[in-house]
Structure 1
Amino acid sequence: MRIVEVLDQTHQKDFLDIARTIYKDDSNYACPLDAEIEGIFDPKENSFFKHGEAGRWILQNDEGKVIGRIAAFINTNKAFSFDQPTGGCGFFECVNDKKAAFLLFDTAKEWLTVRGMEAMDGPVNFGENDNHWGLLVDGFMPQGYGMPYHQKYYKVFFEEYGFKVFFEQYSYHLDLKKPFPERFWKIAEWVAKKPGFTFEHFSYAKSEKYIQDLIAIYNEAWKFHDNFSPIDPEDIRKMALDGKGVVEEEFIWFAYHEGNPIAFFVMMPDINQILIKMDGKFNFWSKLKFLYNLKKKAITRARISIMGVVPKYQRFGVESAIFWHMDKVMKRKPHYKEVELSWVGDFNPKMISIYESVGGVKMKTHYTYRLLFDPNKPFKRTPIIPLENRGSKAKEKKVVERGE
């Protein structure tokens, strides 16, 4: 077997095509767009190259056939904030051959070690954690857009190599044909109509205002969390521009208290329901196919990708009030039958409670693993932040640590 670094167009194509080969007989797999994956490894497209670097490789067998791939990356804004400098690996795909899988893991580990890393998370993305993050271990069904799909045997590869679960990620499903619990609606309506609180949805006509509001909320809501880094406004502007024509303006909501932004909620149509028919291509004909399916309302599922609330308001039920407004929107769009609430970490009991309170059912589980290069060092899982300890910098430091 031979490891080959991806440095030219031929090997870029090999890197993309091996995923199509691995899943060619799996009807649940929706191949991400080639352009999206290539954009992650393009410094002109991915702002994480401003504070990091990435490498990627394919694996060939003795006959020269591609049988696997992996990528490795370092985000210098976060790498040195852990007990040990930590990089990441991702976009792992491999035939059912442990020796081949371990050679791919070795390659990523060696690349990170040379650059001063002492641990490796995986499978993760060279970007924000709302996309391409975690290994699917339960719920082998069609995934929401951005949520990765994997072969069942990958779990054995990661764990036998020495990776341990750093945190678990859960995706809940909400059947829109079933009514929300009555008690939930009473609380949600009371908060939604409370004096001083206002709610409005995104519009492209005022996109810059909402982008700035989202950034303000995000930076305030996450600034006391471990490994926080401020969000890049250009990333948000690019996402808004790329999503034009697909984004439902009434699926993105903002909450304000006395005019100040305090919460945001982002839900997107699950375009995987169309992409699953396109095999990762977005040429002229596939664009026509995409637009045709979009117009005929082929998308029946939406995915909640992120929600943020300023700590001061995290006990006010703002999330419930947003759901109250969203319910009215969904009743005007009856072709949507289901919402995926993803993903929530096992370290976030408050959000898990909210998902369950609206009737969400846990359907999928992904693992984010961590490998310590020195196995003698103590392994710690992502700490759980107790509900009563949220809301201030001092209190955020009081966390529950979990051993291996």
Structure 2
Amino acid sequence: MTETLKIWPVQSSKDQKKFLALPWQIYQGDENWVPPIRSHQREMVNFKPHPFYQDAEIQTFLAARGDKIVGRIAALVNHAHNRQFDEQRGFFGFFECEDDQEAATGLFEAAAKWLADKGMDAMRGPVNPSLNYECGLLVEGFDCPPTFMMTYNRPYYPALVESFGLAKVEDLYAYDVELSMLDNIDPKLKFVVEEVARRFEVETRPLSRKNFMSDVRLFLDIYNKSLVNTWGYVPLSEAEIDHQSKQLRMLVTPEMTSIASIKGKPIGACFGLLDYNPLIKKIDGKLFPFGWLRLLMGRRHLKRARLLSTNVLPEYQRWGLGVVTIYRILPDALKFGLTEGELSWVLESNQLSRASIERGGAQITKTYRLYDRDLADFK
């Protein structure tokens, strides 16, 4: 007989440990799963302070059958999002669950009720904890591991989510690129890149090692300004920018970055990170006491990178300057020894970026989905 389901809000430190430990149970034996960086995960759910929560609220929940934890979820109110879009939308994230529809539905109901009590009219997710961090449910592409800072879940998760009545609102794509393809790049595309660079007198450079922190802040500033009209986007706060800058310092290799300027004015930035996931898997998500050292010592052997973001200021976005900004990275990437790359994530609705990427020969290998549901039933 199936044991009775119990769902409750996380309150104690004991509950927090159970919440954080669940993925190791869910993904036991799954070769494609990569554990989260444990210290980072504590921050992301606000068990340890993170600047995102200076303007947001979170409540985490657990589900159990008897003594066994079978699921978890977080309900989030992102006040910056609701100001930006003039709506009362809540979010869910950090969802993990056994293949147990009753448990999944119970978790979604708990999150929805908490959000409705906070005055929210609708729920969107998964976001962990926003579109500026890890987000989306993997719905296609379960045959290989995720790239660094991309989500992963069991193939049965979409059914659990959709059975609750959550419906697709937007897909996010991950494109794979074999760097050997660059030898056969479309001559027309290469001509466009060179012509745009000549016409606008674009100068490109990597992030400076000497002025690293100021260059990271410059990138994040361009990131904020360039995405103002992007679906669902909310700018990073100053506190988040500072926090992100410090975290990225140890992970960034300048060869994977590019800043484009016109007449001395920075107008575009491209930011890539090595795919640290194979190393994170080896250290089981533990940075301390020696995990950091293994990441730093092992990165020279990594052959894959993720291009996180290519951003151009709004007034320059129709001229192909994003491709010019990316192009600077390619020789350095080959010299570094990289053989593969992932461009992720790209919004389904971002036709301009998708057209440029697909014209360059990249292929969609993973699809992540965001879902919406009205909360009228929970008022």
- Contact 2:73 2:93 survives alignment (8 Å): yes
Structure 2: gaps of 5 or more residues: none
Output aligned runs, 1:133-148, within 5 Å. Answer: 133-140=135-142, 141-148=144-151
- Which letter maps to 1:28? N
1:17 aligned to 2:21? yes
- Which letter maps to 1:308? N
Q: What does residue 54 of structure 1 align with? A: 58
Q: 1:210 aligns with which of 215, 223, 226?
A: 215
| Identity over aligned pairs, percent | 28
- Structure 1 stretch displaced more, 320-329 or 263-272: 320-329
Q: What does residue 362 of structure 1 align with? A: 364
Output aligned runs, 1:170-209, within 5 Å. Answer: 170-179=173-182, 180-209=185-214
Q: What does residue 39 of structure 1 align with? A: 43
Q: What does residue 355 of structure 2 align with? A: 353
Distance 1:125 1:356, change over 3 A: same
1:67 aligned to 2:41? no
- Contact 2:82 2:88 survives alignment (8 Å): yes
Output aligned runs, 1:89-128, within 5 Å. Answer: 89-127=92-130
- Contact 1:125 1:132 survives alignment (8 Å): yes
1:277 aligned to 2:282? yes
Per-residue CA distance 1:251-277 (angstroms, 9 max, x = gap): 121111122221111111111121122
CA deviation after TM superposition for structure 1 residue 135, in Å: 0.3
Q: What does residue 383 of structure 1 align with? A: none
Distance 1:51 1:316, change over 3 A: same
Aligned residues: 370
CA deviation after TM superposition for structure 1 residue 325, in Å: 1.2
How far apart, CA to CA, are the structure 1 residues paired with 2:358 and 2:34?
27
1:314 aligned to 2:314? no
Per-residue CA distance 1:275-298 (angstroms, 9 max, x = gap): 12222222324344434423xx33
CA deviation after TM superposition for structure 1 residue 374, in Å: 3.1
How far apart, CA to CA, are the structure 1 residues paired with 2:364 and 2:125?
22
- Contact 1:130 1:146 survives alignment (8 Å): no
C-alpha RMSD of the superposition: 2.0
Q: What does residue 376 of structure 2 align with? A: 374
Partner SS for 2:134: coil
CA deviation after TM superposition for structure 1 residue 194, in Å: 3.6
Q: What does residue 244 of structure 1 align with? A: 249
- Contact 1:20 1:279 survives alignment (8 Å): no
Q: What does residue 165 of structure 1 align with? A: 168
Distance 1:44 1:32, change over 3 A: closer
Q: 1:258 aligns with which of 243, 252, 263?
A: 263
Partner SS for 1:362: strand
Distance 1:215 1:26, change over 3 A: closer
- Contact 2:174 2:342 survives alignment (8 Å): yes
How far apart, CA to CA, are the structure 1 residues paired with 2:79 and 2:276?
32
CA deviation after TM superposition for structure 1 residue 13, in Å: 1.5
Distance 1:219 1:287, change over 3 A: closer
CA deviation after TM superposition for structure 1 residue 111, in Å: 0.8
- Contact 1:305 1:343 survives alignment (8 Å): yes
Per-residue CA distance 1:210-236 (angstroms, 9 max, x = gap): 245334423432334465544323323
Distance 1:43 1:99, change over 3 A: closer
Normalised by the length of structure 2, the TM-score is 0.91
Structure 1: gaps of 5 or more residues: 376-404
- Which letter maps to 2:180? K
- Which letter maps to 2:204? F
